[in-house]
Chains A and B, each alone.
Chain A
Amino acid sequence: MSTTAPATHSPRLDDGSAPTDLPAVKNPWLVVTIREITVKLTDRNFLLSTVLTLVLIVAGIGLSAFLGSRTADYTVVVTSGEGREVASGATNTITSGDSGDTLTIKEAADEQAARQQVLDGDADVALVLTDQGWILVGRDSVDGTLGGALSASVTSSVLAANAEAAGTTVATLTAGSEVTTELLEGSDERNALKSAASFAFAFLFYMAAIIFGMAIANSVLEEKQNRVVEILATAIPIRQLLYGKVIGNSLLAFAQIGLFAVVALVGLNLTGAASDFGWLLGASGWFIAFFVAGFTALAAVWAVLGSLASRSEDLQSNTGPITTVIMVALFAGIFADGTWLTVASYVPVVSSVAMPVRLLDGNVAMWEPLVSLLVVIATAYALLRLGERVYQRAVMQGGTALSWRQALKLEV
């Protein structure tokens, strides 16, 4: 900066020039928002907890993929040709599908030797034919899949022999006995994924609402407690401070949830744990919209709670009601059903979880989420306006913890 430049906006401390007429800040809330975000992004605890959660998500998906794709190699020891035949019958069952499991059949000289092999761990089970019939010998347990396959094989082999002896066939005997399972809604995989998604919606909302809500309250309280707010109030309208905080922390919450969601969906896709989740994206999109509105409504309340407190201990007592509402949202998402869920999907804040959960089912009319969303947005607006009034009064009032009513009675 040259001193000959008359229009410089970089005044020097000792040059004896007159006070500068600085331009007014256009969007004070934006300066506040940027600071809130910067402070959080340089906060080691925040970064650490975010990374930790990501690791947990990735590990969870990885683990379920691993468990799903793990193959088993079974060994059965038999003592006779009949035994080998029955075991071969089980091989088809075990190796069928894409499980990748295998069955090795070994032969032992007699029952004694077969039992010894099981004891030594050379075979998983021994299949022996005695006078009392077939016996499956395991060491301390018999694997469910292996035991089931071998038993079924024994049954069908004995059944076939008996049928032949009776002069008929197995097909005749079992005609009409088959029971097929049919799901009226979705598939097994889809239903499992649906309840996982419900839980994820409920838990993500709960987590973000509590963690970022507390962050807002603490950030307000910090300024109140250290009287920075008195300086800030002389620089910008105090309302702008509230907006900046609510917007900054809300953006952080959305970004974090978005990050978790992207990592989770990419993970599911890569591991192939869920082959088709296009239907999930629709509900997820709604979840984000409801999350934004519900979170903003809560954010205004959290900011007020921070301004009403005078020490951080006060926060523990005055945040009880809001925490309860958030818990209700959590449990509604996980447990509510039928009419309860329908009602919950229209209650502001609780609807942030309940409506997306209903949408997962699919049987929701298009107008329903729209109406519910409007209700939350209206609530958020009302809470923000009310919050503004309480916040402006309470944040300047040090000394003791205040109630909403007391704060509204105060003079600005």
Chain B
Amino acid sequence: MTNHTPSLEVRNLMRSFGDKTAVDDVSFTVEPGQMTGFVGANGAGKTTTMRMIMGVLTVHGGEVLWGDRPITARDRTRFGYMPEERGLYPKQPILDQLIYLGQLRGMTRKDAASEATRMLERFGLGDRLKDKLESLSLGNQQRVQITASLLHRPAALVLDEPFSGLDPVAVDSMVDLLRDRLREGVPVLFSSHQLDLVDRLCDSLVVLAGGKVMAAGKSAELRARGPRQFAITTAPDAGWLRGMPGVQVVDVDGARAVLELDDAATQDRVLREAVARGLSEFTPLVPSLSDIYREVTR
């Protein structure tokens, strides 16, 4: 059941605080059923962008589109949102406050209660429904927070640093929940500092720096866009590669070297020479998202 929900798009989004431009002409699309990672250093403008998408902050320029039309408050009611600064009632029992949030989004009390109970049980919090939020560990509070954003079966998810503060087990169960949503065709935008996690989870990536989009697109495309590198091992010493035309040696360590090759012809010549000398390894290196991130934000 993909393409059921519209895509979420931001177009030429602008926002400044006083003289400082926080978000500068930002455009990207979060496709339905796609997990889109939103990465960038602190102050890059991720949170500001997300708050504008959610209508918490006024847009100074550009627009947010839901499908092919400007987003409305009604659309946002159906979104799931997790703000950067966590927000729930510390002195309220966790089930009660989830029911309240569900009701505000149009669920009946009964549905909100059964759905919240179900999700909390899935997070292993089934026996703590009546406990106050503040009595839970930080990780468990985070789980309740996630439940709050998923409870009403949102049409889109905007999650600001959803994984921060979670242990690996909690990350996995959260990812499971998100995958359920993705299967339903929900667009998911989440920001994170943890590049390895983004690498593992994302279908698409938006890299932000200084309020501008540095790179955006499918992870696979972004990877392909980087310089093609290869690892090669020729005994006894790979030093001979240094003199070859069309070859940039990135690194040599004894018999092993990392190369960038200008074209396919160069690759042929290198391989022939290497086979003659004794080739034991020739591997294309796929850049990690961390590499891409460093590359585009350099």
Q: Do A and B come from one complex?
A: yes
| Chain A residues packing against B (C-beta within 8 Å) | 9-14, 16-25, 28, 31-32, 35, 39, 222-223, 226-237, 396, 398, 411-412
Interface centre among B88, B91, B104 (most CB of A within 10 A): B104
Evaluate contact between A227 and B83: CB separation under 8 angstroms: yes
Evaluate contact between B86 and A227: CB separation under 8 angstroms: yes
Q: Could you tell me the distance between the alpha carbons of A337 and B291 in the complex, rounded to whole angstroms?
A: 82
Q: Could you tell me the distance between the alpha carbons of A28 and B104 in the complex, rounded to whole angstroms?
A: 6
Residue of B nearest to A241 (CB): B104
Query: Which listed residue (B83, B110, B180) contacts A16, Cβ 8 A?
Result: B180
Evaluate contact between A39 and B81: CB separation under 8 angstroms: no
CB distance from B48 to the nearest CB of A (A): 13
Residue of A nearest to B149 (CB): A231
CB distance from A237 to the nearest CB of B (A): 7
Evaluate contact between B77 and A18: CB separation under 8 angstroms: no
Closest 5 CB pairs of A and B: A227-B87, A22-B106, A228-B87, A235-B104, A227-B85
Q: Could you tell me the distance between the alpha carbons of A9 and B112 in the complex, rounded to whole angstroms?
A: 11
Interface centre among B83, B91, B110, B186 (most CB of A within 10 A): B83
- Size of the B side of the interface (Cβ < 8 Å), in residues, is 52
Q: Could you tell me the distance between the alpha carbons of A11 and B108 in the complex, rounded to whole angstroms?
A: 12
Q: Pick the interface stretch among B51-59, B193-201, B244-252.
A: B51-59
CB distance from A26 to the nearest CB of B (A): 9
Evaluate contact between A226 and B76: CB separation under 8 angstroms: no
Evaluate contact between A13 and B106: CB separation under 8 angstroms: no
Residue of A nearest to B155 (CB): A19
**30 A-B contacts, Cβ less than 8 Å apart?**
A9-B111, A10-B110, A11-B111, A16-B180, A17-B184, A18-B184, A19-B184, A19-B186, A20-B152, A22-B78, A25-B104, A31-B104, A222-B89, A226-B88, A226-B90, A227-B86, A230-B56, A230-B87, A231-B81, A231-B101, A231-B148, A231-B149, A234-B54, A234-B77, A234-B79, A235-B77, A235-B101, A235-B105, A236-B77, A236-B104
Q: Pick the interface stretch among B114-122, B207-215, B280-288.
A: B114-122
Query: Which listed residue (B51, B87, B183) contacts A226, Cβ 8 A?
Result: B87
The interface residues of chain A lying within 8 Å CB-to-CB of B87 are: 226-231
Q: Could you tell me the distance between the alpha carbons of A237 and B56 in the complex, rounded to whole angstroms?
A: 11
CB distance from B188 to the nearest CB of A (A): 12
Instruction: Knowing A231-B83, A411-B58, say if A25 contacts B183 (CB, 8 Å).
Output: no
CB distance from A90 to the nearest CB of B (A): 67
CB distance from A329 to the nearest CB of B (A): 31
The interface residues of chain B lying within 8 Å CB-to-CB of A10 are: 110-111, 114-115
Residue of A nearest to B86 (CB): A227
Residue of A nearest to B133 (CB): A226
Interface mask (B157-194 → A, CB under 8 Å = 1, otherwise 0): 00000000000000000000000110111100000000
Whether B1 is near chain A, meaning CB under 8 Å from some CB there, is yes
Q: Could you tell me the distance between the alpha carbons of A50 and B220 in the complex, rounded to whole angstroms?
A: 65
The interface residues of chain A lying within 8 Å CB-to-CB of B114 are: 10
Whether B298 is near chain A, meaning CB under 8 Å from some CB there, is no
Residue of B nearest to A219 (CB): B89
Evaluate contact between A228 and B88: CB separation under 8 angstroms: yes
The interface residues of chain A lying within 8 Å CB-to-CB of B183 are: 16
Evaluate contact between A35 and B100: CB separation under 8 angstroms: yes
Q: Could you tell me the distance between the alpha carbons of A65 and B89 in the complex, rounded to whole angstroms?
A: 47
Query: Which listed residue (A13, A21, A237) contacts B78, Cβ 8 A?
Result: A21
Whether B276 is near chain A, meaning CB under 8 Å from some CB there, is no
Please give 20 more A-B residue pairs, beta carbons under 8 A apart, in addition to A28-B104, A236-B104, A398-B85: A9-B111, A13-B119, A17-B1, A18-B1, A18-B185, A19-B5, A19-B155, A22-B107, A22-B152, A24-B77, A222-B91, A226-B88, A228-B87, A230-B51, A230-B56, A230-B83, A230-B85, A235-B77, A235-B101, A236-B77
Evaluate contact between A22 and B83: CB separation under 8 angstroms: no
Interface centre among B107, B108, B185 (most CB of A within 10 A): B107
The interface residues of chain A lying within 8 Å CB-to-CB of B186 are: 19
The interface residues of chain B lying within 8 Å CB-to-CB of A12 are: 118
Q: Could you tell me the distance between the alpha carbons of A31 and B108 in the complex, rounded to whole angstroms?
A: 11
